[in-house]
Amino acid sequence: MRAQFPSGWSRLRISPNNLNLANTLPVGQSFLWHRRILASDTGGCREEFSRAVDDPPRVLFMRQTETDLWYTSLYPANQTRPNDDVDLPWIMDYFQLERHPSLEDLFADWRKRDPKLFGVAEVGSRAQGVRVLRQDPWECLIAFITSTNNHIPRITSLLHRLTHTFGRPVVIDDMDDGTLSYHLFPAAHEFGSELEHQLRNMGFGYRARFLESTLETLRARYGSQPGVIEAGLRDLRAADVGLARDELIQLMGVGRKVADCVLLMSLDKSSIIPIDTHMLAVASRHPSFPHRLRNKAMSAQAYDEVQTFLQDKWGPMGGWCQAVVFAVDLKERPTPEDKSPTGPEVKLEAVPEIDTAAISSIEHKETSTTKVQRKRRIFEGAAVVRHSTQTKRTRNSSTMMFKASTETLVATKVKGEDDMTK
C-alpha cells in the first residue's frame, strides 16, 4: 500500500518554471506515464503521474506544487524497500536536473542567439518548465518506431498494450476510484518468436514488421543474452553523432527523424533537432530563413538544410529549444484522465491502415545498404501517407491493382515516419 500524502512522501524543492511535469511528460516524448486527476486539491497538488521503473522494480509516483516536486514509490509485496533513496537519483537523471540545472539560463541563451524568432516568441504557460527527458534508449527506440504516422493517444495505448503483454508485472495499485496494474517495459530478451504476428493482433499494423526486424538486427549486432541490447544502445551515448545516427538508421523502421528523436531524447545529443513539417513551418517564420526553402516539399536535402539552419540559430542545446517551441505551438493536450491499464480511454480518430495481409504475402528480404540507398533512407513517411491516400481513393479497384501498389511500397522499403521516405 502506498504512503499517505504528504507525510510518507519525499520532496525536491524545484519551481515549475524549471520542471513542469504536465508540460513535459504527456506531450510526445515518453508514452508510459499514467496521468491521474486527483479528486481534490490535496496540498496544492491537482494531478499525479506514475509509472513502473526498474533497478529495483517499483512504481514511482510524482505530484507537483508551486514550490516542490513530491515523490514516493510502491514496491512489490515480496520485495524489501531499500534503505537509500533510489528515486531521487532516478528523477535527477531522467529530467537531467544536474546536467542542465537552470532552464532560465537556457532561455536567456536562446533569446541572445536568436532574437528574431525565439527572442520575440510568446513563451506562455504551456511551454513553462519543458525539459528533454533522458530515457532508456531501448524503450525510446521502440516507442518512436511505434510513433510513425501515429498520434499521441494511440501511441500511448499501443505501448501500454505492449508492456502489459510482454513486461513483468510490478504491483497493482488500489485507489479510491479503482485499481491500476503496472508492468515494466519489456526487455529485449523477453520477446519471443512470432513477434510480428502478435503485434499485428495488438493493433500495431505495418509497424509490427519494423519492430520484429529491428529486434532481429539488434540481436545479430549485440547478442541475445539478457541486457546486452540495452547496454549496446546505451553505449551510443558516448559515440559521435554521425556514428550513433548511422547505427540507428540501419534498423528497419528508423529513418532520419526517428533516429534524431532517439538521439535527442535518450542518447545525450542535445544539439539534434528532429525535423518534420511542423518544424519546417516554424523555421519558415524566421526572417532570415532561405526563401528557396519556404513551402518546399520535405526531402533529404531540405531536412539537412532546415536542421542546420535551426542548429545555427539555437546552438548546442538546439534540441531543447525545439522542445520548447513545439510546446508553444501545441494545440491540444492529450487527455489527462488515465486509469486504464492499456492507457488513456480515448476515442481514436480513424487512421488509414495498409492491408497487412497483402504485405505479409510478399517475401521481403533485407539486403545490405549501399551508400546511395542510405541517402534515400531518410524521409520515409511521405510514401506511406501517399500510399494510404491512394488506397482510400481506390478502395473499389481490383485486387491486382492494390497488390501492385503494395509491392511498390515494400520494394521501396517504406518504414513510416511523418513526411519522410528513404
Active centre residues (catalytic): 257
Contact 16, 66 (CB under 8 A): yes
d(CA 237, CA 233): 8
DSSP code at position 237: G
DSSP code at position 289: S
d(CA 286, CA 116): 7
d(CA 245, CA 247): 5
Asked if the bond preceding 226 is cis, omega within 30° of 0, the reply is no
d(CA 80, CA 47): 28
d(CA 328, CA 331): 8
Residue with grid cell 506531450, as numbered in its chain: 27
- Identify any residues that bridge with 10 across adjacent strands, giving them in sequence order: 71
Contact 348, 342 (CB under 8 A): no
Answer left, alpha or beta for residue 28, where phi above 0 means left and psi between -120 and 50 means alpha. left
φ, ψ dihedrals at 315, nearest 5°: 80, -165
